[in-house]
Structure 1
Amino acid sequence: MTAKPEPTTYPETYYAGAYWGARKESPEECAQRTATFLNLLAPTDPFLAHWYKPTRALKDARKYPLMPPDVPALTELFRRGANREKGGPAIEQLGFTFWFGNGGKSYDSADLRILCGCYSDAVSNACVMTLPTLGHSENADRVISAAVLTGAVRSMALAWEPDWAVAMSHAHRDMDEAEGKADMWLGWVTYLARHRGTVPPLPAPVRIEPVEGKGTLIILTPERFTVANPEHVALARHVRGLLGKAGLMQPVST
């Protein structure tokens, strides 16, 4: 009898994202927020300190640096990214979309996708950063850490003033969605804006940090959070339950 092949296992992949409701902003305002975010993000790790304008070919990825942030150049990129029907005029209420990366290759890269200036009830604004892949990147083990991701989420909170933000694995997000918790996610690192309410006391090893009067960071574990660790999963569910009882996990009204 031929032995069945062992199932292929893949490392968890991680990302960070900030989300906020309807907020009408101009390309200039979106560019200024982006510049603020990139300047705040840069000190968290050298890997996140270099960003480049989008290019058609990967070989050209490092030809057009965006650091230090050039607000007029960013403004023009947002203006070009006005959402529209193909061949039609810009749809003002859907804001501006802009993608760019840090010049890395394949699994050893970070990318940013920003939707800013949207004031439609149907779509939320967001700044989402994909991260390098563990086991395939010389930078991932350092970047995917509590210290760096806490700094990244804090930078998002200060620059974008979102309703909430999170750093987590896609596997953890998928688990939340499968359990019917797709309104907002509790990640390894989570930011909740002050207007959402007061964060209650949470059990160890959870750490709570204020963000300059704007809101609160919640860091579940000092070590890397993974769904492969049942203690991590149980802790996340327990903390989510406590935050839910405090009324902090409700969907954002746009």
Structure 2
Amino acid sequence: MTTHAESQTHPETYYAGAYWGPRRESPESCAQRAAVFLNQLAACDPLLANWNKIPKPRGKGRKTPLMPPDLPALTEAFRRGVNREPGGPAIEHLGLMVSAYNDGLPKELVSVDMTCGSYAQNSSANVCVLSLPSKGESAERLLTASVLTDVTRSMALAWEPDWAVALSHAHRDLQDGEDKADPWLGWVTYLPSQRGTVPPLPAPVRIEPVEDRGTLIILTPERFTVANPEHLALARQVRELLARAGLMRSAAS
């Protein structure tokens, strides 16, 4: 677990992720969702507009651009992304995975991992995780409430997840004792409508609809950090209000 002192010594690193349970989908369906996501991601920031497929095994094979999204190429990428033991048959129920990286400078390298189509029961293997830069001009642009709200909205619209979040690894670590099937509460959190209605929340929290699908909860207009005790207190208060509304569990004591 990251301590407050450590977070002050080492800058917090951030990411965004969408998570959903068993949902059997074809390579074509996964490719269509990925295309929507990559196109919407490109509109969030220029750094998120160029992607190359990471070959399997990693580090071998030539660079394969994924932008602009080409559905046949993406479909083939997901088809080849099936899990399998070396030399063995495809393990289809574990889903299809495509990973990609941007074509930027070393300090601005970001990656995205997309696993879609898993129908393994008692599993939340379907996931889309976007890494984010930790320092430099790109980090200053991306690590803002407005950009991460757009990124999380893109995940919600493309993947239709059970929940999605943008947060720091340090803030995630503080919630690691909680049920992994339960949403983490992040700087930005998406909850679909079927979970229930988001109650009124205290300032400076902002609530935004995502079409008719769900709600985004943005905790603070400035960068949320575990080094700020007021931010942590606000997160605990908001989580308790969401728990009372039946949208997630109370924070671990």
Same fold (TM over 0.5): yes
Contact kept in structure 2, 1:94 and 1:123, CA below 8 Å: no
Identity %: 65
TM-score (norm 1): 0.89
Q: Residue 219 of structure 2 corresponds to which residue in structure 1?
A: 220
Q: Residue 29 of structure 1 corresponds to which residue in structure 2?
A: 29
2:79 aligned with 1:79? yes
Q: Residue 50 of structure 2 corresponds to which residue in structure 1?
A: 50
How many angstroms apart in 2 are the aligned matches of 1:225 and 1:54? 31
Deviation per CA, 1:58-96, whole angstroms, max 9, x where unpaired?
A: 9x7xx5321110111111111111012232111111110
How far is 1:234 from its partner? Answer: 0.5
Contact kept in structure 2, 1:12 and 1:171, CA below 8 Å: yes
How far is 1:52 from its partner? Answer: 1.2
How many angstroms apart in 1 are the aligned matches of 2:92 and 2:67? 28
**What is the count of residue pairs matched by the alignment?**
241
Q: Residue 211 of structure 1 corresponds to which residue in structure 2?
A: 210
Q: Which amino acid aligns with 1:210?
A: P
Counterparts in 2 of 1:134-145, with a 5 A limit? 134=135, 137-145=136-144
Q: Which runs of 5+ in 1 are unaligned?
A: 1-5
Q: Residue 148 of structure 2 corresponds to which residue in structure 1?
A: 149
Q: Which amino acid aligns with 1:77?
A: A
Q: Which amino acid aligns with 1:244?
A: A
How many angstroms apart in 1 are the aligned matches of 2:179 and 2:54? 34
Q: Residue 130 of structure 1 corresponds to which residue in structure 2?
A: 131
How far is 1:50 from its partner? Answer: 1.1
Q: Residue 17 of structure 1 corresponds to which residue in structure 2?
A: 17
How many angstroms apart in 2 are the aligned matches of 1:151 and 1:50? 17
Q: Which runs of 5+ in 2 are unaligned?
A: none
Q: Which amino acid aligns with 1:242?
A: L
How far is 1:57 from its partner? Answer: 4.9
- Structure 1 runs of 4+ aligned residues shifted over 4 Å read 55-58
Q: Which amino acid aligns with 1:43?
A: A
In structure 1, the residue corresponding to 2:112 is in which secondary structure? Answer: strand
Comparing 169-178 with 180-189, greater Cα deviation is found at 180-189
How large is the Cα RMSD of the aligned pairs? 2.1
Q: 1:215 to 1:141 in 2, by over 3 A?
A: same
Comparing 82-91 with 161-170, greater Cα deviation is found at 82-91
How many angstroms apart in 2 are the aligned matches of 1:73 and 1:122? 31
Q: Which amino acid aligns with 2:206?
A: R
Q: Residue 3 of structure 1 corresponds to which residue in structure 2?
A: none
Q: Which amino acid aligns with 2:10?
A: Y
Q: Which amino acid aligns with 1:15?
A: Y
How many angstroms apart in 2 are the aligned matches of 1:66 and 1:91? 25
How far is 1:103 from its partner? Answer: 2.1
How many angstroms apart in 2 are the aligned matches of 1:123 and 1:107? 34
How far is 1:181 from its partner? Answer: 5.3
Q: Which amino acid aligns with 2:205?
A: V
Deviation per CA, 1:86-115, whole angstroms, max 9, x where unpaired?
A: 321111111101111112354421111111
In structure 2, the residue corresponding to 1:216 is in which secondary structure? Answer: strand
How many angstroms apart in 1 are the aligned matches of 2:90 and 2:81? 9
How many angstroms apart in 1 are the aligned matches of 2:104 and 2:15? 16
2:100 aligned with 1:97? no
How many angstroms apart in 2 are the aligned matches of 1:209 and 1:239? 15
How many angstroms apart in 1 are the aligned matches of 2:134 and 2:78? 28
In structure 2, the residue corresponding to 1:24 is in which secondary structure? Answer: coil
Q: Residue 197 of structure 2 corresponds to which residue in structure 1?
A: 198
In structure 1, the residue corresponding to 2:151 is in which secondary structure? Answer: helix
How far is 1:138 from its partner? Answer: 2.8
Contact kept in structure 1, 2:53 and 2:98, CA below 8 Å: no
How many angstroms apart in 2 are the aligned matches of 1:87 and 1:236? 48
How many angstroms apart in 1 are the aligned matches of 2:164 and 2:96? 20
